[in-house]
Amino acid sequence: MDLKRMFICSAVCIIVFSLTMVFTYRYSVPTSAVIDTKRDKTVVVLDAGHGGEDGGAVSESGVIESDLNLKFTKKLKAILEINGFNTKMTRSDEGDLADKSLKTIAERKKSDMYKRLDIYNSEISNVAISIHQNMFPAISCKGSQVFFSGRVPIAEKLANNITTAIKEDLQQKNIRESKPAGGNIFLLDNARVPAVIVECGFLSNEDEVKTLCDVNYQKKLSFSIFKGFMNTEF
Ligand SMILES: [Zn+2]
């Protein structure tokens, strides 16, 4: 689906209420979500993982996770905003949030993570979606996986709905289920709002790297994440 056409469709839906059902049918986006009735008051924190001196995973072909995370996050931001939601990016360029005066990489990383958490838990924030890419020694691994914060019950539903949308739209053979953070993902374990991490795919699988770098695929996957969000009653 061409994103430009999708944007035009969704813009028309916002203006002309009578067309909402057409949009719903066409893109399977329900209009019943509670959050849907107060779009203009909803702020979705969008967190492109890594950045700055922490590039995250790097594929054998040289694709850097932090760059890819930002590309997906910007597309998701555009889709949310055209549909009337507010967004807050933790970072909108290649840089990180770290306090640069700190001496060690470990200290700067910690400061970066705490600053992201402050944004997740800020007064304006209603929900947080973080975007990452996966890496695994077995290069055959591929497909998306979503992790959720165990502290806020609705996060599991959000994660499951995003997983379902991605599988239905793009990855029918993906059998991976969403998983709780389980005490080892700092941001999810400490978020006070519903928070999920979407691992879009594996940078250890070169076939998937090609797919992940495809701009149309980035748009489609971002739209599936949006669908999962819309299917969740907050
Ligand atoms: Zn990552």
For residue 56, report the distance from its CA to the centre of ligand 1, in Å: 5
Ligand 1 (ion): residues with CB under 5 Å are 49, 56, 132
Q: Buried b / exposed e across 185-196, counting CB within 10 Å, b at 16+?
A: bebbbbbebbbb
Q: Calculate how far, in angstroms, residue 202's C-alpha sits from the geometric centre of ligand 1.
A: 10
Query: Phi, psi at residue 51, to the nearest 5°?
Result: 120, 165
Task: Give the predicted TM-score (pTM) of the model.
Answer: 0.84
Q: What pairs with residue 198 in β-bridges?
A: 131, 146
Residues contacting 135, CB < 8 A, separation 6+: 57, 65, 202, 203, 204
Q: What is the pLDDT along the chain (234 residues), one digit of tens a residue?
A: 444 444 444 443 343 333 333 333 333 443 434 455 467 778 999 999 999 999 999 999 999 999 999 999 999 999 999 999 999 999 999 999 999 999 999 999 999 999 999 999 999 999 999 999 999 999 999 999 999 998 888 999 999 999 999 999 999 999 999 999 988 899 999 999 999 999 999 999 999 999 999 999 999 999 999 999 999 998
Ligand 1 centroid distance, CA of 136 (Å): 12
Of the candidate CATH numbers 3.30.479.30, 3.50.50.60, 3.40.630.40, 3.20.20.100, the domain formed by 33-230 belongs to 3.40.630.40
Distance CA 41, CA 21 (A): 23
Tell whether the torsion through CA atoms of 220, 132, 162 and 91 is positive or negative: negative
